[in-house]
Chain A
């Protein structure tokens, strides 16, 4: 770029500073208040870990956490397998129709509330008892689309001639997949899985609609939502801090493995 004047550079720096303040102050306040001793959720009165301790004794939150973990792990594993195979299948074919592209793209753009009511209608029409299993079925829908898009992004720069080279050197299709294709795209597959895991852990509306009645299948976001509706307490601040820490760790990991999902 052409040399910029000092004034321009200062302005640009100021813009960046303000934007980062806007992005991080709300989160920082939340995290800070989670260590607040007082019971008022917004007025600082000294450092304490008591809200984290009380969180550890809250069985509703713990069981919601466990449910979320089950849903996220199972749906991520399923979505990673299906999404990776889908990505390879789509990218290997030289031409593919718009309908296929739309089908893969739709789960990422469709409003949550629409997918949520669609699945609710569908499951109730089939007279399916809803619970964790229906949440998992639902989460795989958007998770597999996201895994697929991450793996496809990697496959765009994939040199398909190494697959031919493997065949040329005598390997069967399965051996080629196991020893050449998979190892090369593995970072993207793991990144996709971590992304799916994060999305699943955070997802609220679809889980809310497909969980069925009763508390047995309440997930963490459902729990958080009802806590927020009930009123703000320092306990939510602590819970929010933990959930953010987990998601951000997963994302950072996925970024390191795959410079490409959101970096380019």
Chain B
């Protein structure tokens, strides 16, 4: 195991530490780095101009997360309610798109949403005669792309606790006089919250730092944090500021993960009882 740990240290820990260090230096006059200590990069991060991009990224990631969780949970619930032998098949096909190329999946939405794309043609066929609606290169398109790309993971994360749920719990609830809706709200939902949380955290973390989807579906001037970091390194040539942005992104990510870990610890005890120790 030592070689793997060395590899991870040399090519992940050290480079990330380097970026952290970089964030405390000045930008050189001709690009490059001026090795004098400063906190102004972090000051710039909270500057209204850039803080606004953070807020926008969080808003987009949050919206995508909520939509993906609602759709994903419904799909996972429907799969877990299907006949036992069909469940793995449904699950496999729900996850399959996840493993095709991310760029291509995003590109598919350009094909759908562009001015002469399938959606416009569908509208025409339904009798719509006006100007094609502008759907591509909007915030909505970015959200649609994120939901589409990460939905399979949410289905997977929500299915795991649903499939392990001891069916006798729902039966016991019905037996004690609860309606189907109450049973869902008071028994099934609370016990499957860890899956929802795992899926939600995943979508949020990957969305807020996303680069490809905003770049392709948001259009040229559309920016989320990922694109901002990209620009600092490849266009603006302000590496220290880019590094500070990257560290802010990591900090947000760690906060979200820590919140989830705390939440999962509390939920773990309940879930273990609910599955009846079925998985040992």
A residues apposed to B, CB below 8 Å:
1-2, 4, 8-9, 12-13, 15-16, 19-20, 22-27, 29-30, 33, 40-43, 82-83, 85-86, 88-90, 100, 103-104, 106-107, 109-115, 117-122, 125, 137-138, 140-141, 144-145, 148, 198, 201-202, 204-205, 209, 221, 224-225, 228-229, 232, 236-237, 240, 243-244, 247-248, 250-251, 255, 259, 262-264
Contacts and interface: CB of A to CB of B under 8 A. Distances in A.
Interface in B59-73: 71
B18 A125 contact: yes
B170 interface: yes
Nearest to B232: A117
Contacts of B206: 111
A202 to B, nearest CB: 5
B205 A221 contact: no
A8 B18 CA distance: 56
Interface of B: 1-5, 7-9, 11-16, 18-19, 22, 71, 74-75, 77-79, 81-82, 88, 90-97, 99-105, 107-112, 114, 116-118, 121, 148, 151-152, 155-156, 160, 167, 170-171, 174, 180, 205-206, 209-212, 216, 226, 229-230, 233, 239, 242-243, 246, 249-250, 253, 257
B81 A23 contact: no
Contact of A119 (B5, B11, B74): B11
A224 B101 contact: yes
Contacts of B79: 16
A240 B148 contact: no
Contact of A113 (B96, B103, B117, B246): B246
B100 A90 contact: no
Contact of A205 (B14, B101, B108, B212): B212
A109 B257 contact: yes
Nearest to A240: B104
Nearest to B160: A264
A86 B101 contact: no
Contacts of B226: 111, 113
B108 A26 contact: yes
A141 B11 CA distance: 7
B4 A29 contact: no
Contact of B243 (A12, A121, A201): A121
Given A112-B211, A140-B7, A141-B7, A244 B205 contact: no
A114 B246 contact: yes
B1 A85 contact: yes
Contacts of B174: 2
B107 A19 contact: no
A204 B108 CA distance: 17
Given A16-B82, A204-B102, A248-B100, A118 B15 contact: yes
A1 B167 contact: yes
Contact of A23 (B16, B97, B121, B230): B97
Point out which of B1, B7, B105 has the most chain A C-beta atoms below 10 A from its C-beta. B1
A202 B102 contact: yes
B55 to A, nearest CB: 18
Contacts of B100: 27, 202, 243-244, 247-248
B101 A244 contact: yes
Nearest to A157: B280
Contact of B156 (A4, A138, A244, A262): A262
Point out which of A25, A110, A118 has the most chain B C-beta atoms below 10 A from its C-beta. A118
